[in-house]
Structure formats: structure tokens, C-alpha cells
């Protein structure tokens, strides 16, 4: 075990700088000192990549009960009703708070502008700058965080492990990539808000930072993980050769986009009454089926019924990105295919973010609150991070009253005067994060072990699954040679995290002998409520179990 270069004592530690982590940290800053660790830039999180919007029942034509009903229906019988109720009931007040903090959602005149997405019965999706909703929310939360004297932000800080004493999480160790040093943080409570694990798949819409670190370190520390078999695949990622799988938001279909196969036929009517606005799992499987039927590698998203003016205004980033690859959405069909997008499972929590380990909390995509069930309703993810991030912050401050560690507890950060913006931690002083970690070179090509993990997961543990394929996946994953762990090497740590989680997903998928939501088994093609209307749960060293 490497010796920690420095030890820091804080009241609360937050791992992750997306919507859940920042909202929790802002909540906690009223109770004590907070250290937020971001493994990359402060603005580099899945939140910033969220295009479509944030779902909330605030329009005149909407009702909280309808949002609740739509969420439960999309979750395919596996949502925790009490969690869904909290989400939809508390969502509006936290959205109003975001607006008060300077978040600029798009408006129609003076009123908030709402759009509709798949499986929503009303237009309830708020968006910002057309298709930059997550980026705008992240900007507003970071701006607020920088005004709070007891909240400290440390970019390029990669958390390698949790510290556990007598069954309680007491802190963590992290790697500061600016100089390669390993540090130790002691805290009264620790929040995991590290986002998802999309990089476990060959095809994904997720940013490079989405390597499941929070789930993996929680699993190794002994926490319960739940519903790991439920990975959502977004139906429409840009399928241009050599281009990253850029997400083409569901809001495009909400605004009238249609899907066509390579023969230019609309095909969704063969698969669902709601056609392009069916739930994501239905649309993703329909696309895969159509690709197989026509022996093609993609289908087309057709937006040509919309004018160039409309597309540029409503989807400026998407329009510009497609144009950079030679596609004009106003006149060209965009080739698309499904890609891994969102993890419904994660570290099991209660309604306040508490995990099975004392002192450890989780929120956002890292957590399994039960809100999403077997299939997340579009645009509920940002809302979940917001609502349950705030609730986790409230619970942490109540469960672990602050020891009143001041700003001086972090060497290198002078205690701010009242009302003065807090400094970013240690060497990364003041406002924005540096453009790149000084000692982190451009990412090299993925190592053979990582390529193998991604290929195995995409081929055998993807949109269409079967018992033999899942068994083969486990066999192949177990013989992958991993390098010896080094706490000073982020790339190797991420590889080990992804490998551990890949096995958990495959094991959980093999244990669930039914088809439900995003989990489809060709050998068990029907939902089995009698046996599997329960949540999977796993602890390190134990078999998968199912529980209410």
C-alpha cells in the first residue's frame, strides 16, 4: 500500500462533479467543510453531455401524477414507487431553485418552453440553449459552488479506494494527476457521484470519464450493488465511420424525426404502436432487429421535414456536429445505431442516498435508487441527480454532524473571508480548472485487455442477450490478463474497475431469467413477475440474490 503524501481532514467528501455531486456539495456547505474531487476537468461529467433536457411537471397542461405514471410505466414493473413519487413531487422546487441560481432554460416569450420525448404523455422536458441543457445546469451549479467559502473543488483527482474501519467508511485515497502524488482524505461522510460506466462497451455515447469508478470502489469496499443487469442503450447514436458515437437526442424524434431502414422504409410501426416515441428499450431492439433483417450496420434518422432554420435554433450543437461530418440534417438522412448510454443500477441506496455501508452515500447514475426500474424514462436522469443529490447532502449533514474543519484544514487554501469565493483546492487555485492535467498525456490507444472487455460486453452482454452468450462472456472475461494494480496509475485502475463491473453485469444478466425493460433474453423472452419482480443485489464474494 503506497504511503499517502498528505492527509486532509474535512467534514464531507464528494467524489464527482456532475449534477448530483455539485448539488449535494452545495447542500453540505451550509453544514461544514466540503471537498469535491473531480477526476478530470471540473466541467467534464456526463451532466455536461446531456442534450435533451430535464423532465419536470411544471407546465400548465401537466400534473405530477402523470409524470409519476409515465415513469412507472417506462420502468416495466421494477421502479420503487416511493422513490418515483419523491422524484416527481420534489423535482419542481429544485428546478425553481436552479432558475433562481441563474440556470437559463429556454423560453417561449416569458414562459418556460417544454418539449416532449418518448414515453412522456405530456410536453414536460425543459431544455437550455436548444440542446445544451446539461452544460447549462453544470455551469450554473459550478458558478454557485465557487461562491461558497467552505466548498473546495479539486480537479484531476482520481479516487483509487475507500477507507473502511470497523464497517464504516471514514475517508478515501486519491491520485493527484498534476504531480502523481497519492493523498488521503478523512471525512465524516463520503458521497459517490461518479456517474456511469458506458466505457465498458465498445459503442457508447458516454464521455471517456465514465468508467464506473464509484460503483467499483464501493463494491471492493463491501457495499451492496443492485440492478446491474439493466443498462440502457440509446437508440440513436451517430454511426459515421471513424466518428465517436455522438448522441442524437431523443428530442429529435420528439420534434417529428422518423426512423427509416436502409431501404428508406419507416419501420417502427411493425414494432410499437407509439412508433418513434416508444420507450428507449423498444426502439433500440427494433433498430437492432431491422439492422439484422436488412443486413446493415445502421438505420437512418430522418429530420428532413424540418427546416434548416428550425434545426439550427432547436438543436444547434447537434446540427453543427453532424455538419462537421458532412451531414446536413435539413437535407440528409443521418445514419444511426444504438449505443450504451445509461446504467439504471449501481450502488444500492435508500431514499436519502444511504448505502449499506455506514458513512457512505451515493447519488446520480452511480446510485440504484429504484427510480428508473428496468428502463429509464427519457430526461429523468438529470432530475434524479438534482433531487437525490440534495437529499443525500441533507442526510449526510444529519447523520454525520460537522466537526467544523475550516478551510485551513486543506493546506494551500487560505481561509476565505466571509462572502469571498472559495479557492479551488491545492495547486489548482481559484476559478476554472486547468485545461489539462499537467502530467497526463493525450490518451493512448486502448490496451488489448480493455478492447477485449468492450468487445465481449458489446457482443454478448448488449441489447440482445442469451444464457449461452452470457456464460461465454463470463468465461472470456475471467481469462483476461490484467496488469498488477498501481495506485499511481489511473489508466490501470480504470481498467480493473471496468473489468470487475463487466463481470457483475454479466452475472446479474445471467441470473435474471426473463426479459424486462432494457434486459432482453432471447431464451426467456417474456417478463416473469412471479419470480423476478424483484431487484438483483450482489456483495463482493457472494452470489446474486433477488430481493424486494
Give tens-digit pLDDT for 457-502: 999 999 999 999 999 999 999 999 998 766 678 999 999 999 999 9
Q: What is the mean pLDDT of the segment spanning 86-95?
A: 97
Asked if the model's pLDDT at residue 96 lies above 90, the reply is yes
Q: What average pLDDT does the structure give for the chain?
A: 90
* 142 contacts: CB under 8 Å, gap ≥ 6: 17, 22, 42, 43, 153
Give tens-digit pLDDT for 385-444: 999 999 999 999 999 998 865 544 455 443 333 333 444 443 333 233 333 333 334 456
**Selection from 197, 58, 134, 217 nearest residue 386 by Cα:** 134
- Is residue 135 annotated as a catalytic residue, yes or no? no
φ, ψ dihedrals at 247, nearest 5°: -70, 130
Give tens-digit pLDDT for 132-182: 898 999 999 999 999 999 999 999 999 999 999 999 999 999 999 988 999
Asked if the model's pLDDT at residue 214 lies above 80, the reply is yes
> How many residues comprise the chain?
548
Structural domains of the chain sorted by starting position, each given as residue range(s) with its CATH number in brackets? 235-339 (3.90.700.10), 448-547 (1.20.58.100)
Pick left, alpha or beta for residue 345 (phi over 0 → left; psi -120 to 50 → alpha; otherwise beta): beta
Give tens-digit pLDDT for 272-283: 999 998 888 889
Round to whole Å and give the CA distance between 520 and 467: 11
pLDDT at res. 279: 82
Round to whole Å and give the CA distance between 306 and 313: 11
CB 152 within 8 A of CB 424: yes
Q: What percent of the chain has pLDDT over 70?
A: 91
CB burial string 238-247: b at 16+ within 10 A, e below: bbbeeeebbb
Q: Enter the DSSP assignment of 521.
A: B
**Selection from 202, 303, 285, 211 nearest residue 248 by Cα:** 303
Q: Give me the catalytic one of 23, 135, 253, 280.
A: 280
Q: What is the mean pLDDT of the segment spanning 214-243?
A: 95
Per DSSP, the three-state class of 247 is strand
**Selection from 388, 429, 386, 385 nearest residue 407 by Cα:** 429
Per DSSP, the three-state class of 3 is coil
Q: What percent of the chain has pLDDT over 90?
A: 78
Give tens-digit pLDDT for 100-136: 999 999 999 999 999 888 789 999 999 998 888 989 9
| Least confident segment among 39-43, 120-124, 158-162, 526-530 | 39-43
CB burial string 457-476: b at 16+ within 10 A, e below: bbebbbbbbbeebbebbbeb
Round to whole Å and give the CA distance between 307 and 329: 9
Cα diameter, the chain: 66
Q: What is the mean pLDDT of the segment spanning 79-89?
A: 98
* 397 contacts: CB under 8 Å, gap ≥ 6: 12, 27, 28, 30, 31, 32
Asked if the model's pLDDT at residue 321 lies above 50, the reply is yes
Residue spans of alpha helices (H) in 223-357: 250-254, 280-293, 308-314, 316-324
Other beta carbons within 10 angstroms of residue 363's beta carbon come to 35
**Selection from 223, 281, 64 nearest residue 542 by Cα:** 223
Give tens-digit pLDDT for 231-285: 999 999 999 987 888 889 888 998 999 999 999 999 999 999 999 988 888 899 9
Strand partners, 546: 536
Amino acid at each position: 500500500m503506497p504511503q499517502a503524501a498528505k492527509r486532509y481532514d474535512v467534514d464531507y467528501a464528494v467524489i464527482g462533479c456532475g449534477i448530483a455531486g455539485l448539488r449535494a456539495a452545495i447542500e453540505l456547505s451550509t453544514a461544514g467543510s466540503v471537498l469535491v474531487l473531480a477526476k478530470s476537468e471540473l466541467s467534464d461529467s456526463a451532466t455536461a453531455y446531456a442534450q435533451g433536457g430535464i423532465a419536470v411537471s411544471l407546465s400548465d397542461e401537466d400534473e405530477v401524477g402523470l409524470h409519476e405514471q409515465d415513469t412507472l410505466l417506462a420502468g416495466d414493473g421494477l421502479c420503487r414507487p416511493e422513490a418515483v413519487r419523491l422524484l416527481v413531487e420534489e423535482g419542481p422546487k429544485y428546478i425553481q431553485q436552479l432558475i433562481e441560481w441563474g440556470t437559463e432554460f429556454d423560453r417561449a416569450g416569458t414562459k418556460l418552453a417544454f418539449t416532449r420525448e418518448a414515453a412522456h404523455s405530456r410536453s414536460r422536458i425543459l431544455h437550455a440553449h436548444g440542446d445544451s441543457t446539461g452544460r447549462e445546469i453544470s455551469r450554473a451549479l459550478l458558478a454557485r459552488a465557487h461562491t461558497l467559502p467552505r466548498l473546495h473543488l479539486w480537479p484531476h483527482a482520481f479516487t483509487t479506494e475507500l477507507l473502511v474501519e470497523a464497517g464504516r467508511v471514514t475517508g478515501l485515497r486519491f491520485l493527484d494527476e498534476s504531480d502523481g502524488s497519492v493523498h488521503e482524505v478523512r471525512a465524516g461522510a463520503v458521497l459517490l457521484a461518479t456517474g456511469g460506466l458506458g466505457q465498458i462497451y465498445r459503442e457508447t455515447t458516454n464521455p471517456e470519464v465514465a468508467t464506473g469508478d464509484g460503483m467499483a470502489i464501493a463494491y471492493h469496499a463491501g457495499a451492496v450493488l443492485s440492478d446491474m443487469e439493466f443498462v440502457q442503450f440509446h437508440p440513436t447514436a451517430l454511426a459515421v465511420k471513424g466518428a465517436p458515437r455522438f448522441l442524437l437526442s431523443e428530442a429529435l424524434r420528439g420534434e417529428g424525426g422518423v426512423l427509416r431502414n436502409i431501404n428508406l422504409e419507416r419501420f417502427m410501426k411493425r414494432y410499437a404502436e407509439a412508433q418513434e416515441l416508444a420507450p428507449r428499450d423498444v426502439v433500440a431492439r427494433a433498430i437492432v432487429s431491422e439492422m439484422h433483417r436488412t443486413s446493415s450496420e445502421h438505420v437512418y434518422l430522418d429530420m428532413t421535414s424540418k427546416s434548416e432554420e428550425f434545426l439550427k435554433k432547436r438543436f444547434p450543437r447537434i446540427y453543427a456536429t453532424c455538419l462537421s461530418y458532412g451531414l446536413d440534417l435539413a437535407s440528409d438522412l443521418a445514419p444511426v445505431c444504438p449505443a450504451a448510454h445509461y446504467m439504471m443500477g449501481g450502488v444500492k441506496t435508500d431514499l436519502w442516498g444511504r448505502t449499506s455501508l455506514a458513512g457512505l452515500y451515493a447519488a446520480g447514475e452511480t446510485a440504484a435508487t429504484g427510480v428508473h426500474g428496468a428502463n429509464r424514462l427519457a430526461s429523468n436522469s438529470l432530475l434524479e441527480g438534482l433531487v437525490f443529490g440534495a437529499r443525500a447532502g441533507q442526510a449526510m449533514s444529519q447523520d454525520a454532524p460537522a466537526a467544523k474543519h475550516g478551510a485551513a484544514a486543506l493546506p494551500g487554501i487560505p481561509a476565505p473571508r466571509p462572502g469571498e469565493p472559495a479557492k479551488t483546492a491545492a495547486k489548482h487555485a481559484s476559478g476554472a480548472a486547468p485545461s489539462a492535467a499537467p502530467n497526463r498525456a493525450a490518451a493512448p490507444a486502448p490496451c488489448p485487455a480493455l478492447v477485449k472487455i468492450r468487445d465481449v460486453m458489446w457482443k454478448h452482454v448488449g441489447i440482445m442477450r442469451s444464457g449461452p452468450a452470457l456464460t461465454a462472456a463470463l468465461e472470456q472475461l475471467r481469462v483476461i490478463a490484467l496488469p498488477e494494480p498501481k495506485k499511481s496509475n489511473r489508466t490501470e485502475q480504470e481498467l480493473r474497475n471496468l473489468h470487475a463491473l463487466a463481470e457483475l453485469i454479466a452475472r446479474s444478466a445471467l441470473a435474471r431469467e426473463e426479459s424486462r425493460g432494457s434486459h432482453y433474453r432471447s431464451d426467456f423472452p417474456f417478463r416473469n413477475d412471479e419470480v423476478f419482480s424483484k431487484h438483483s443485489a450482489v456483495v463482493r464474494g457472494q452470489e446474486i440474490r433477488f430481493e424486494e
